[in-house]
Amino acid sequence: MTTPYSLRHDWTLSEVNALFNKPFLDLLLEAQLVHRAFFEANKVQASSLLSIKTGACPEDCKYCPQSGHYNTELENEKLMEVQRVLNEARQVADSGATRFCMGAAWKNPPEKDFPMILEMVRGVKALGLETCMTLGMLSQSQSEQLASAGLDYYNHNLDTSPEYYSHIITTRTYEDRLDTLQHVREAGMKVCSGGIIGMGEHRDDRAGLLQQLANLPSHPESVPINMLVKVEGTPLDKVEDTDPIDFIRCIAVARILMPESYVRLSAGRESMSDETQALAFMAGANSIFYGDKLLTTANPGENRDQLLLNKLGIAIEGGEDSLRYHPKSDNSDMFYDAMQHGNPDTRSPNQQPH
Ligand code: SAM
Ligand code: DTB
Ligand code: SF4
């Protein structure tokens, strides 16, 4: 059976905006149907985060508590010893999370530290966890070394639209970010790339960010959608709160544009209600950060997450590749057909009658 949505890499801004402008319930239904056509329903992937080098970052990302340009009273820490990282990873392996994501507050990883980074990848991999790192910009050679050491995923976010980007970061360009994503791809690693909602951006910027991600030569396997965590001392700490419904729209549009990708309901869950999180899962989010800390800020602890997931009947999945192209759950085809025939303008050109 053909999947109802073919993968596209040619989305126009007006098409993406048209999705954003749909009635909320229509958008949510479409996203959930796309989700069920590509993934098993009621399952989420769980990753744990560890900051392996904290603070004093030379970059000026206006959202970030770890930038050395702002005073956030964060305690800076140099690169962690490999054994300490592996001890943390052992605990994660027992928690139910399947991926261990190590983050460093660097513009790019210094060559002198690179052998330790590679050792961490090998060590975490040997514990049976999937490995992910986010270390800033990478050269082609560094990407290849990480891939050879067994790094499964590299996280590098586009963060926002190309147009809004310079309001948020001035110390590296959008092009720099795209270059790193290309190096990661060429080295054969899986790409984790997404952005942040709630930095004072316009809806067009949210559409622009998702358009950029969806129009990459291959969709990122993992798309983290972060809600800004406002940290005192950063230039964005007083920005207006994002309406949760607007945030859910971003998740739903990401799901529709990148049907095969894991969409991660990422930073910001600590201050989200259970109902908002439930709507995010309905909109097609199927991945979370698990554990009581993100990199430097709080995340709901495992107890709160277990209660929520139990309430919703959602299980943490064991290994993500086994679930790709899972047979469609229940009768999503029937609903999908009904929706398509009821709303002809939601059909892509190759689905329209001739
Ligand atoms: N330094 C590396 C880099 O920026 O590429 C890796 C670590 S950085 C903290 C990873 C991502 O975390 C950023 O790209 C951003 O999307 C996200 N992030 C950082 N601070 C955040 C905040 N306050 N709220 C939401 N997301 C945030
Ligand atoms: C991503 O998109 N979000 C994570 C992960 N990738 C590295 C980081 C969120 C950081 C939130 C702020 C903090 O805890 O420092
Ligand atoms: Fe540094 Fe990354 Fe924070 Fe930017 S997001 S200031 S690069 S740690």
Q: Give per-residue pLDDT as tens, 58-71.
A: 999 999 999 999 99
Q: Do 260 and 219 form a contact (C-beta atoms < 8 A)?
A: yes
Atom of ligand 3 nearest to the CA of 66: 3
Q: Measure the CA–CA gap between 110 and 246, rounded to whole angstroms.
A: 39
pLDDT band at 88 (very low <50, low <70, confident <90, very high): very high
Does the active-site annotation cover 101? yes
At 5 the pLDDT is 62
Is the confidence at residue 350, as pLDDT, over 50?
A: no
Q: At what angle do helices 244-257 and 24-38 cross, to 10 degrees?
A: 40
Annotated catalytic residue: which of 36, 206, 255, 264? 264
Q: Quick: pLDDT tens for 175-191.
A: 999 999 999 999 999 99
pLDDT band at 119 (very low <50, low <70, confident <90, very high): very high
Nearest alpha carbon to residue 178 among 151, 154, 147, 212: 212
Q: Measure the CA–CA gap between 55 and 65, rounded to whole angstroms.
A: 7
Annotated catalytic residue: which of 36, 99, 101, 177? 101
Instruction: Please give the torsion angle defined by the CA atoms of residues 70, 72, 75 and 79, in that order, rounded to the nearest 10 degrees.
Output: -50
Share of the chain above pLDDT 70, in %: 88
Mean pLDDT of 95-121: 95
Ligand 1, residues at Cβ distance < 6 Å: 63-64, 66, 103, 105-106, 134, 136, 156-157, 159, 196, 226, 228-229, 231, 267, 295
- Smallest CA separation from ligand 3 atom 8, residue: 105
- Name the burial class of residue 217, with classes exposed (0-12), middle (13-18) and buried (19+) by CB atoms within 10 angstroms of its CB: exposed
Is the confidence at residue 150, as pLDDT, over 90?
A: yes
Q: Which range (118-122, 159-163, 251-255, 300-304) has the least confidence?
A: 300-304
At 302 the pLDDT is 87
Nearest alpha carbon to residue 308 among 329, 281, 284, 268: 281
Does the active-site annotation cover 250? no
Mean pLDDT of 300-321: 84
Is the confidence at residue 338, as pLDDT, over 80?
A: no
What is the identity of the amino acid at 330? Answer: D
Tokens 């490999």 correspond to what residue?
A: 82
DSSP structural state of residue 189: P
Nearest alpha carbon to residue 258 among 336, 183, 192: 192
Mean pLDDT of 79-102: 92
Q: Measure the CA–CA gap between 183 and 142, rounded to whole angstroms.
A: 9
Annotated catalytic residue: which of 64, 172, 250, 255? 64
Annotated catalytic residue: which of 36, 57, 172, 249? 57
Q: Measure the CA–CA gap between 261 and 222, rounded to whole angstroms.
A: 5
Q: Do 340 and 347 form a contact (C-beta atoms < 8 A)?
A: yes
Atom of ligand 2 nearest to the CA of 101: 7
* Highest mean pLDDT out of 72-76, 84-88, 321-325: 84-88
Q: At what angle do helices 203-214 and 244-257 cross, to 10 degrees?
A: 20
Is the confidence at residue 277, as pLDDT, over 50?
A: yes
Tokens 């050109």 correspond to what residue?
A: 349
Helix (H) or strand (E) holding 226: strand 222-227
Mean pLDDT of 266-274: 96
Mean pLDDT of 86-91: 92
Tokens 């920005």 correspond to what residue?
A: 239
At 328 the pLDDT is 42
Is the confidence at residue 94, as pLDDT, over 50?
A: yes
Q: Which ligand is nearest to the CA of 59?
A: 3
Is the confidence at residue 340, as pLDDT, over 50?
A: yes
Phi, psi of 26, rounded to the nearest 5 degrees: -65, -45
- Smallest CA separation from ligand 1 atom 2, residue: 136
Q: Do 34 and 285 form a contact (C-beta atoms < 8 A)?
A: no
- Name the burial class of residue 287, with classes exposed (0-12), middle (13-18) and buried (19+) by CB atoms within 10 angstroms of its CB: buried
The answer, as to whether pTM is greater than 0.85, is yes
Supply the mean pLDDT for the chain: 90
Contacts with 315 (C-beta within 8 Å, 6 or more apart), sequence order: 42, 43, 44, 309
Helix (H) or strand (E) holding 306: helix 302-312
Mean pLDDT of 69-96: 92
The Å distance, Cα 221 to ligand 2 centre, comes to 17
pLDDT band at 333 (very low <50, low <70, confident <90, very high): low
- Smallest CA separation from ligand 2 atom 1, residue: 224
Mean pLDDT of 294-309: 93
Is the confidence at residue 326, as pLDDT, over 70?
A: no
At 6 the pLDDT is 76
The Å distance, Cα 131 to ligand 3 centre, comes to 20
In short, whether 296's Cβ falls inside 6 Å of ligand 2 is yes
Is the confidence at residue 321, as pLDDT, over 90?
A: no
Q: Which ligand is nearest to the CA of 294?
A: 2
Max intra-chain CA distance, the chain: 63
In short, whether 65's Cβ falls inside 6 Å of ligand 2 is yes
The Å distance, Cα 34 to ligand 3 centre, comes to 33
Nearest alpha carbon to residue 283 among 259, 307, 308, 315: 259
Q: Measure the CA–CA gap between 124 and 130, rounded to whole angstroms.
A: 8
Residue of 54, 62, 66, 133 to test ligand 3 pocket, by largest number of atoms within 8 Å of CB: 66
pLDDT band at 323 (very low <50, low <70, confident <90, very high): very low
Contacts with 172 (C-beta within 8 Å, 6 or more apart), sequence order: 59, 107, 137
The Å distance, Cα 208 to ligand 3 centre, comes to 21
Q: Measure the CA–CA gap between 17 and 253, rounded to whole angstroms.
A: 9
At 97 the pLDDT is 86
